[in-house]
Structure 1
Amino acid sequence: MKEKDGEWALPSGVWVQTNESFSLTKTARGRSVSAHASPADIATVVGSTFEDQTPRKFYPPEFHYSPLTGKPLGKPPSNEDAGWAPPFGNASIDAGGSSDARGLRRTQHSLSLRNIKSRTADKQPDDSMDVPPPGEYQFFSVPFGERGATLIALDPLKGTLFARLPASCTWQPLEGVGPAIVDECSLPHHAWRAELAKCGTDPGCTLFVATQAGLARITPDIASLTYEVTYIGGAPAVGAPIAFDNQIWIPLQAKNGQIRFVGVNSVGELKSDLTVVGPEGATIDVSEIGLPVSYGRVAIWVCKTGQLRVQKQSDGGAVATFLQWPPNLLPRLDFGSPYLTSSGQLWQVCFNTVTNQYDWVRIDSAHAEISTATTLRLCSGMVNFRITSKTSMPPWEEPEHTDDTSSNDFVIPLLESSTSDVVVGLRLSSEAGIAQAFESKERMPYALCYDDSDNEVTFFTAYAPEPWRIRLFVHSGKLWAYHSRAKRIEGWDLA
């Protein structure tokens, strides 16, 4: 809608027309466009339409025809990616789609690499980008409307955010507006995750992350290089947030020492506030906690002494409880994700301190079942690896015919697709065994490997300390790999 001569107030923001050109001056949230963002950056971020000439002339994304010639305007490619919430690519909580378990190392992205048959370990990646300033980052691909998505890097330990301007190819800091900035988060690397939600009728998205001040709802405004943050719960988070039963839940440490759960809707309104009820005399130790998983009628946070659970009740409400582990069992929180059987059961790997074996404990039910494994298998969700062999068999069942136990190599599945049979893994070698390898802080060689029904391809090799800390993410039609000690973020084209 044209409010006055030369100025257009549109859902994407306020645009000013000067002669035959248009420029965004105010974002959809009414903030001034940053001087650090070029017109090409802004056009990519908001999904501007254009006349295909040199130099390209951009228009507000609401314009479908040239106001000068009446001819149809060019459109940027549709944003086929439904966004990426770290670390394993859950789409926006209101994107719909799959009803699979949430929180496993599974994503709805296909992960199929282009030209996979011609890829080799020594071939250069298809693309690369510089890393943000020193830190330990998690990456969001945040959609804006139907077209365009911006890459955002968050360092949870520092509470700092950077946006990558797509045309300038630079990382720029996002500054907080209003009274609050993003607080720090003390969760370990293997226990951190986030949620992404659409902002109602607003074309942008909101990030939900754990902090020392509670559940943070962060709304970035890329064109102005700012963000706004609000907090829910008013107490330190002791675990990561996860979507469950149309709410985003997170465990908090109350002042009296009790654990409570708060649940909010996608716009950050508090909908639930539950105190955890555990067995009398039970010690709830959340100093070591893993990633949450939600599936069916329950959301679970596994921790050192048991499971924090939010269970949906028959009356539509929910109850928060604590369930202790069976005797002599310690969960291994850093050994991948729980295993989801084809029948919909969730199992967590634990170490039995009496038998010195690995036991898998069923966690989707309050009645513990235990299955003992003869070898340790690392899992990403519905797939696990026996040494270097991918299998969907339960990790406590051994194949009848196998001859790989003498190998020093093993594969850590980093990410599996829920819409294809692709798994991207990390191949390592250790004479001391898998468990001991995870204790090493030394630089070591590693390989990224691609595994589907037709291909087993190593497509990248490098050296890094603790290479299992690599974060994969999908953005702009590419699979990217980030390690905090690497000089570049490497990328490969998706098919």
Structure 2
Amino acid sequence: MATTVLSERENESWDLGDQRWSRDPATGAFELLGYRQLGTPGAAADPLDWAGLVGARLSQDPADCAGRPLALFPGEFRYSPTTGQPLAAAPHRGTEVWLPPFGGERDGAQRLQGLRHTAARLSLPGSLTPEANPDDELPPPCEGPCHFIVAAFSACESRLVALDVARGALHQWLPHSRRWADLAPVGEARLGPSALGDDAWSLAALEQQGTLRLFLPSDDGLAVVGINLLAGHCEVHTLGSACVGAPVLWRGRVHVPMLDREGVVFVQAVRPDDLALERMPVSGLDPAAHRWLRPVADPQHIVWMGSRGQLLVRAEPAGTAGAASFLSWPPGVSPRFDLGGPSLAAGHLWQPCFLRDAQGGRVVSVQLGAAGPALRDPAGDDTDEDDDESTAAKERSAILLASTTSSATLRARLDDARRVSSGFGTKESYLTTFELAGEDTVAFFAARLSRPWATQAFLYAGRLYLHHPELPVLPGWQCAA
């Protein structure tokens, strides 16, 4: 700790590790001058909204407040220098990280990426019922779909950040004021909107030297975004051209499909440390294939699926990223994305598809990234009907998220499941019950929604929240210990 007294009339400067405060010698009041090169909060910011970000101490003792409603002190202070009484710590909401859409890792180190799996523990009290009120309700940050990020971004605690993809806007949740505040861009650079749908959108993220950087797809290019929660702003740097698929951090580089001005699709590889670019041409690409679903990746390859085939980046034997290529679906095979996303079986990734051949038609699983046709019957499939909608009609629930830690699965169970297969891509609504299935199944919420399988779940401050554009609020439930 270093203390500098400038003069009898000027404030003292206190350097306390990564914090810098000033103290008014006349009143004893402390004011934050800087924290971890993040600057200071705006003058209009409520101190209780940012005190936890810097780990400040609080007092409401009139002797400390000097006429103000609240006095703040450096986090290293345990006792009031005026009264000697203990100082309260600012409310702390943890340092957990949640990256949409499924709470993925921030360094791309997990073996499988893009599946509906999370390492976070999912657990709810068994006493919950769909009729009971949730423990919390947040107002929606915007109209329409959003994605939710939870991270500290170099601060002392994590905060909830909402991304409005359609407008290219970021919002921060202020926990004391209970309102959303814009994260304004610094300078002239802006975050562009993205036309990627909820089945195609995802982000990549990397933490370097304690700072989390986001790589977001946009119609303007790949946006590299840094967020300053304390100052309430973001910095945006956009690379390349329009993103027609979502990025993934794989083998130390960010890979993302882009569309250049000539209408040619290619894969852009970005080195995170210096943002150096490498264009990877795609051999054999169908010119009409311009829409790609959210990528999945394993140690051998990245796969972006589309209606006409798969966009692949394979690893070379030496371990480096190889060439990008396009792989058509096998003859007679069409993907059925409405039956769910890829799953892991026999050490490979498989996608539900429909096969028409001389024997008729049936649902099969196709191995992703396989050079030759690799088909298998879906696990538990006992139907040989010609109706390619039969399997979807029998499905009574959609998996939203599965925890690899607590062996629990969050799912949306539809009342009239037989109508589901005809409702994909429509606005038909379904009475939906949300439940967490583990050792016991806990049904905790019900609502009538269109496309309930597009509901997003995220964890923040010890609660499980749900988001759907048709819900008037974001309901949240306290997780079980």
When normalised by structure 1's length, the TM-score is 0.83
Partner of 2:140: 131
Letter in 2 for 1:486: L
Partner of 1:419: 405
Query: What SS is found at the alignment partner of 2:294?
Result: strand
Moved more, 433-442 or 462-471: 433-442
Query: CA–CA distance in 2 between the matches of 1:59 and 1:397?
Result: 67
Partner of 1:292: 295
Partner of 1:34: 42
Offset from partner CA, 1:184-220 (integer Å, 9 cap, x none): 1111121111123324244xx2221100121111111
1:92/1:197 contact within 8 Å kept: yes
The 3 A distance-change label for structure 1 pair 23 and 395 is: farther
Query: What SS is found at the alignment partner of 1:276?
Result: strand
Query: CA–CA distance in 1 between the matches of 2:363 and 2:80?
Result: 68
The one of 467, 479, 482 equivalent to 2:464 is 479
Query: CA–CA distance in 2 between the matches of 1:413 and 1:406?
Result: 13
1:38 positional shift: 0.9
Query: Any unmatched runs of 5+ in structure 2?
Result: 6-11, 63-68, 384-389
1:274 positional shift: 3.5
The 3 A distance-change label for structure 1 pair 395 and 290 is: farther
Query: CA–CA distance in 2 between the matches of 1:480 and 1:443?
Result: 21
Offset from partner CA, 1:61-90 (integer Å, 9 cap, x none): 4x2655835989747558352x11111111
Partner of 1:207: 214
1:426 positional shift: 0.3
Letter in 2 for 1:278: S
Query: CA–CA distance in 1 between the matches of 2:17 and 2:311?
Result: 42
Partner of 2:66: none
1:356 positional shift: 3.5
1:159 aligns with 2:168: yes
2:244/2:291 contact within 8 Å kept: no
Query: CA–CA distance in 2 between the matches of 1:247 and 1:129?
Result: 36
Partner of 1:376: none
Query: CA–CA distance in 2 between the matches of 1:409 and 1:211?
Result: 34
Partner of 2:363: 358
Moved more, 325-334 or 4-13: 4-13
Partner of 1:384: none
The one of 92, 99, 103 equivalent to 2:114 is 103
Query: What SS is found at the alignment partner of 1:304?
Result: coil
Partner of 2:386: none
1:48 aligns with 2:62: no
1:92 aligns with 2:106: yes
Partner of 2:149: 140
The one of 429, 439, 442 equivalent to 1:443 is 429
Letter in 2 for 1:79: G
Query: CA–CA distance in 2 between the matches of 1:277 and 1:461?
Result: 45
Moved more, 223-232 or 325-334: 325-334
The 3 A distance-change label for structure 1 pair 201 and 85 is: closer
Root mean square deviation, CA, Å: 3.0
1:493 aligns with 2:478: yes
Letter in 2 for 1:34: G
1:345/1:364 contact within 8 Å kept: no
Partner of 1:308: 311
1:431 positional shift: 5.8
1:166 positional shift: 1.5
The 3 A distance-change label for structure 1 pair 283 and 3 is: farther
1:348 aligns with 2:351: yes
Partner of 1:273: 278
The one of 13, 16, 27 equivalent to 2:22 is 16
1:447 positional shift: 0.7
Q: Decide which structure has the larger Cα Rg and report it.
A: 2
Partner of 2:202: 193
Query: What SS is found at the alignment partner of 1:450?
Result: strand
The 3 A distance-change label for structure 1 pair 353 and 429 is: farther
2:248/2:295 contact within 8 Å kept: yes
1:30 positional shift: 5.1
When normalised by structure 2's length, the TM-score is 0.85
Offset from partner CA, 1:347-388 (integer Å, 9 cap, x none): 011223554422211114434311134xxxxxxxxxxxxxxx
Query: CA–CA distance in 2 between the matches of 1:334 and 1:170?
Result: 36
Alignment of 1:200-239 (within 5 A): 200-202=209-211, 205-232=212-239, 234-239=240-245
1:346/1:362 contact within 8 Å kept: yes
Letter in 2 for 1:349: P
The 3 A distance-change label for structure 1 pair 45 and 316 is: same
Query: CA–CA distance in 2 between the matches of 1:431 and 1:135?
Result: 25
Query: What SS is found at the alignment partner of 2:293?
Result: strand
Query: CA–CA distance in 1 between the matches of 2:328 and 2:391?
Result: 34
The 3 A distance-change label for structure 1 pair 263 and 59 is: farther
2:216/2:224 contact within 8 Å kept: yes
1:239 positional shift: 0.3
The 3 A distance-change label for structure 1 pair 407 and 243 is: closer
Query: Any unmatched runs of 5+ in structure 1?
Result: 374-393, 399-403
1:101/1:293 contact within 8 Å kept: yes
1:120/1:457 contact within 8 Å kept: yes
Partner of 2:377: 372
Alignment of 1:396-407 (within 5 A): 396=381
Query: What SS is found at the alignment partner of 1:224?
Result: coil
Offset from partner CA, 1:307-345 (integer Å, 9 cap, x none): 11111212343122221110122223344320012x421
1:12/1:60 contact within 8 Å kept: no
Letter in 1 for 2:104: N
Query: CA–CA distance in 2 between the matches of 1:480 and 1:339?
Result: 25
Letter in 2 for 1:348: Q
Letter in 2 for 1:460: F
Query: CA–CA distance in 1 between the matches of 2:380 and 2:172?
Result: 40
Over 6 Å off, 4+ runs: 51-56, 70-73, 404-409
Partner of 1:378: none
2:59/2:72 contact within 8 Å kept: yes
